[in-house]
Chain A
Amino acid sequence: MPDEDENAREEIRPGAGERRAGRAYSARFHLLDRQVVDGDDWPVCKVDDLELVPDPDGPPRVTAVLVGPAALAPRLGGKTARWLAAVRRRLSVGEGEGPARLDFGRVTGIGAVVRVELPEEDVGVHALEDRTRENVVGRLPGAGHASG
């Protein structure tokens, strides 16, 4: 969908996704809040925000997908954002932790879902997932058993 008037549309550099000729991606429509899945189609997270770096030669470049309440809260604005930020502050250990980031180089496709290639080791986008695993679910018998 080529368009000229909306400044929210960001062009993704070739190689970053399955860019079709003549069609620009809209950050708001194609990326923000989309589901991110890994190479085996497992859901990973949602695109809570994007990291933009100014480029002297053109429009800003998308360099990373930002994940978690720390990324989402500033985007929401208003009471919800303050509440979310407050909850996060109380839950987090260190001061001033930034949001988890997924380098945009890992993105292999943008469609109904955003596809990323993840390394075997933990990429650290799931603070809450890790916490529930360590404190609750991982302690249950059979937690490592996959059915079906």
Chain B
Amino acid sequence: MKRLLAVTLGILTAIGGFVDIGDLVASSLVGARFGFSLVWVLLVGVVGICVYAETAGRAAAVAGRPTFGLAGLALVVFVVAVFRLDPSWGSVLEQVTHPEVPGGEGLPTYFYYAIALFASAMTPYEVFFFSSGGTEEKWKPKDLLTARINVFLGFPLGGLLALSIMTAAAALLLHPAGIAVDHMSQVVLPVGYALGELGLGLVLIGVFAATFGAALETALSSGCTVAQYFGWTWGKTAAPRKASRFHAVVIVALLAGTALVLTGVDPVMVTEYSLVFAAVALPLTYLPVLVVANDPEYMGEARNGGFANLMGGLYLVVVLVAAVAAIPLMIATKAGL
């Protein structure tokens, strides 16, 4: 029973953790501009995050708690909206399996947004959070099963949610109408259209929870990253007095984020740029995960097997290609203009 609860909460957290502001913006932006032609990137990204979150979770168990909360699940209205819009599934499948760069868009722009979408799915702080949570809750090897279920159910379900945002939002309504997503308000437009006021209300709660949760997660994640690097005492469960440097970093990160928003900078643009820079940094996160997972001193019996290494290696190549291509594509396309 206790395990069932842990699994359910874990899955819900993984779903919520997956769909953060980055996925919200990237999915609708890409759906509106490119229709269904980039769905494959989302699928590639979801498999990638599963591969690395499982590895990182295993490392944490041998050697997240719900911060996001359940309110973000209100974003499920996007799934409802998709069904309400009742697309012709055959043609959707056709467009997904035979991606075509839409007319008027160059190939570099297509791949620039592909990288942003990929980075939104592979967001490293999901992995940080997952393994930091594991360390903090003192996962033992027997918790590994729970962790695996969370990863292999939660992240794909989160991916499904992102997919429905892309579909509802964007590919079904905005793309045919030629509306681009320049403002946060346009992200929720399709739900309002499909489900009326109630839907709009729910989606606003979901967006608020996702952005609020992401703000806290990013601040905490900055603290964890810095503290772990320098070896400081850290953790949500520690009294702030006991881990004062960690809490100071969290406060600074929160204030810096608030200050950035208060400058009036366009949040959609900030999200898009940060995703591209995240893509550049992805190999720095995932290479060490792979190295540690193969270290017998750390991992003992739970060391990476052949299949995990094959997938990990394959994704490392994908991540490297995306990282190398991100900045040149950003310059070449004038950041996707």
Residues of chain A touching chain B, judged by Cβ–Cβ distance below 8 Å, are: 35-36, 41-46, 111-113, 126, 128-129, 132-133, 136-138, 140, 142-148
Contact A35 B237 (CB under 8 A): no
Contact A112 B242 (CB under 8 A): no
B233 within 8 A of partner (CB) = yes
B306 within 8 A of partner (CB) = no
Contact B232 A137 (CB under 8 A): no
Given contacts A43-B232, A136-B248, 17 further A-B contacts (CB under 8 A): A35-B231, A42-B233, A42-B238, A43-B231, A43-B233, A43-B234, A45-B232, A46-B230, A46-B231, A129-B233, A137-B241, A137-B251, A142-B240, A146-B242, A147-B236, A147-B237, A148-B236
Q: Give chain B residues whose Cβ lies under 8 Å from the Cβ of A133.
A: 241, 244
- What class of interface size applies to chain B in its complex with A? 20 to 34
Q: Give chain B residues whose Cβ lies under 8 Å from the Cβ of A145.
A: 239-240
Residues of chain B touching chain A, judged by Cβ–Cβ distance below 8 Å, are: 63, 65, 138, 227-228, 230-234, 236-242, 244-245, 247-248, 251, 297-298
Q: Give chain B residues whose Cβ lies under 8 Å from the Cβ of A36.
A: 231
Q: Contacts A138-B244, A147-B236 given: A112-B298 contact, CB under 8 Å? A: yes
Inter-chain CA distance A42–B227, complex, in Å, is 12
Q: Give chain A residues whose Cβ lies under 8 Å from the Cβ of B231.
A: 35-36, 43-46
Contact B138 A41 (CB under 8 A): yes
Contact A129 B239 (CB under 8 A): no
A-B contacts at CB below 8 angstroms, number: 66
Q: Give chain A residues whose Cβ lies under 8 Å from the Cβ of B228.
A: 43
Contact A146 B238 (CB under 8 A): yes
Q: Contacts A41-B138, A112-B298, A132-B248 given: A138-B241 contact, CB under 8 Å? A: yes
Q: Give chain A residues whose Cβ lies under 8 Å from the Cβ of B298.
A: 112
Q: Contacts A42-B233, A43-B234, A44-B231 given: A143-B239 contact, CB under 8 Å? A: yes
Taking the closest CB of chain B, its distance from the CB of A71, in whole angstroms, is 12
Inter-chain CA distance A46–B233, complex, in Å, is 10
Nearest CB in chain A to that of B234: its residue: A43
- Residue among B232, B236, B240, B242 with max Cβ neighbours from chain A (10 Å): B240
- Residue among B63, B236, B248, B251 with max Cβ neighbours from chain A (10 Å): B248
Q: Give chain B residues whose Cβ lies under 8 Å from the Cβ of A140.
A: 240
Inter-chain CA distance A43–B65, complex, in Å, is 19
Q: Give chain B residues whose Cβ lies under 8 Å from the Cβ of A112.
A: 63, 297-298
Inter-chain CA distance A111–B63, complex, in Å, is 9
Inter-chain CA distance A138–B251, complex, in Å, is 13
Q: Give chain A residues whose Cβ lies under 8 Å from the Cβ of B230.
A: 46
